[in-house]
Amino acid sequence: MAFTKEDYNEMSLKIVQVKEEVGKFIVGQEESVDFILYSILAGGHTLLEGLPGLGKTMLIRTFSEVLDLGFSRIQFTPDLMPSDITGTTVIEEAPDGRKNFVFREGPLFSEMVLADEINRATPKTQSALLEAMGERTVTTLGITRPMKDPFFVLATQNPIELEGTYPLPEAQLDRFLCKVIVPLPGKEELKEIIRRTTGSPAGNLRKLLGPEDIRRAREMVREVILPEEMLDVAARIVTGTHPSDSPLDEVRRWIRFGSGPRGLQSLVLAAKARALAEGRFHVSIGDLKNCAVPVLRHRLLFNYEGEAAGMPADELITRLAELSAGGPS
């Protein structure tokens, strides 16, 4: 489908309005807001990591209201079973007395799913999300059922209280388009949070986009132009995370595995979504640099020496992005 300049300008304006509306309830967290939006526009999923009480759940619920999407929340616990989230088949008696098998959908069958504290569930339950996130389907008792369209998983995890948690497997981490670190608020942000949460309640949120708008925006993201030189830059950033091909000595020494093809796909889609959000038809160097860290930080696996060195993946990716774009290393 061909889109006009007016289509892109109109969608860009709507996206700005969405960010402003979310900002009425959420203080700060600009990077979280941006990359949740980019993930939604790109058709991906987002992993949020932050301390308790930073408003991660409120942020996601606010997005579901502004985007007019069905919302469900799954509280992950060690005793949660796969069928608790995907649904199960039960025997139901019809008015005529006959008994039939009926599938009861679980909370995963929603347009926006909050997987709260996802790392508290066992690997068996975590793996139940893999098919839904990757294939947009759920298979139970040999029957494959499609997910809603659009379908987004926004998962949260707590970086502390690691007892009783199960680290997400690499295959599942790779399913997330980006990982966003939710920072602690500053003094002025804390004061504004208190004003909003201890005073008179704010008004209702406006519903600015709907499922049809999001499907249209997703098509527009795919149509954003990716110049060949920008694809070269993106590919250099991703291959720079590989120990065998990296220009950085630290990557060669400390990284066991770098990002795979899905990382490059995610980087390009996130950059295209950012371009659309800013009303542009093409991907720029700034888009790739801005998106590189959130998109790739969870795709680098350090070896023992790298873990002992303690250098964050963010710093390595930032240097790789600068180097790949022709800037300082």
One-character DSSP codes across 18-63: HHHHHHTT--S-HHHHHHHHHHHHHT--EEEE--TTSSHHHHHHHH
Residue 274 binned pLDDT confidence (cut-offs 50, 70, 90): very high
Confidence check: pLDDT of 19 > 60: yes
Q: Provide the pLDDT for residue 162.
A: 58
Q: Provide the pLDDT for residue 197.
A: 67
Strands 152-157 and 143-146: unpaired
- On whether the CB atoms of residues 113 and 153 are closer than 8 A, the answer is yes
Confidence check: pLDDT of 130 > 60: yes
Beta-carbon neighbour count of residue 149 at 10 Å? 12
Q: What is the mean pLDDT of the chain?
A: 83
b/e per residue, 218-228, with b = 16+ CB within 10 A? Answer: bebbeebebee
Domains in the chain (CATH in brackets) are 5-197+207-211 (3.40.50.300), 224-324 (1.10.8.80)
Locus of tokens 């008994």: 99
**CA dist., res. 209 & res. 62, Å (int):** 13
What percentage of the chain has pLDDT greater than the value 70?
91
Prediction pTM value = 0.86
Q: Provide the pLDDT for residue 97.
A: 74
Q: Provide the pLDDT for residue 329.
A: 39
Please name the residues in contact with 214: beta carbons below 8 A apart, sequence gap of 6 or more.
40, 41, 67, 69, 150
**CA dist., res. 91 & res. 102, Å (int):** 6
Across 301-328, average pLDDT = 83
Across 63-91, average pLDDT = 84
Across 43-66, average pLDDT = 80
